[in-house]
Amino acid sequence: METITHTSFVYKWIHLPTGKWYIGSRTAKGCHPKDGYISSSELIKPLIKQHPTEWKREIIKTGSPEEMVKLETTLLESLDAKNDPMSFNQHNGDGKFTRTGVIVSEETRKKQSETIKRVHPNRGKPSPNRGKIASEETRKKQSESKLGKKRKPFTEQTIEKMKIASKVRAEKRGYVPCSNDMKEYFREKYKGQKKQEHTCPHCGKVGSGGSMLRWHFENCKHKGK
């Protein structure tokens, strides 16, 4: 029986359809090349999980944690990984990341964090007004402040994304979309007909459609009063 001991390693993932690559190291306690580890990269990890057959992993070298961290940095620097179009790596092991061409050092990120804390001292803290019920006057002011304001229209790209998301949700629920022929059939069948109205026995509200079933009758807030 094979005995596997702690062995740090440097690995390389290759995306077979494009040839693009990612280099990383694994130094956690108890790790070894056969421990099933994928990567800590938020960029390639989900891609590998979604399409595992499109990826190939190579073990570059094994050794002590210190040696492997040093080797990873050496490789990334020599290849200038963060600027190589064939690389998925966003840094060269130097703590400086590149995203959309902007390099942000550790020092810069620290300054940004301090600025946010100074400008927004309560950021991340629970709101002192949480759980409080707004007064009638406050609600009236909030309502008046929204009057006359038009919502910015959705872009075509946003609308397309919403359609896709709606389709995915429908498929998960097992919903089968109505065909165009069936839609036309129901249009002709109920053409010119008014929806049947009902009166809620608890509050006297008169209406039709699903909103009545949702907010009235058995679900009416005045039920039992």
The answer to whether residue 167 is domain-embedded is no
The answer to whether residue 134 is domain-embedded is no
The Cα–Cα gap between 179 and 196 comes to 25
Torsion angle of C-alpha atoms 149, 155, 158, 159, degrees rounded to 10: 90
The answer to whether residue 13 is domain-embedded is yes
More confident residue, 95 or 147: 147
Q: Are 97 and 89 in contact (CB under 8 A)?
A: no
The answer to whether residue 114 is domain-embedded is no
More confident residue, 21 or 214: 21
pLDDT at 139: 81
- Give the number of domains in the chain: 2
pLDDT tens for 119-139 read 666 666 666 666 667 788 888
- Residue range of the domain that includes 80: 8-93
Q: Which of 44, 71, 93 is the last residue of a domain?
A: 93
More confident residue, 206 or 94: 206
**Domain at 57, CATH number:** 3.40.1440.10
Q: Which of 28, 63, 93 is the last residue of a domain?
A: 93
pLDDT tens for 24-52 read 999 988 899 999 999 988 889 999 999 99
pLDDT tens for 161-192 read 888 888 777 777 666 666 777 777 777 777 77
The answer to whether residue 150 is domain-embedded is no
Q: Can you give the pTM of this predicted structure?
A: 0.43
Q: Please count the other Cβ atoms lying within 10 Å of the Cβ belonging to residue 177.
A: 10
Q: Which of 93, 115, 142 is the last residue of a domain?
A: 93
Q: Please count the other Cβ atoms lying within 10 Å of the Cβ belonging to residue 128.
A: 8
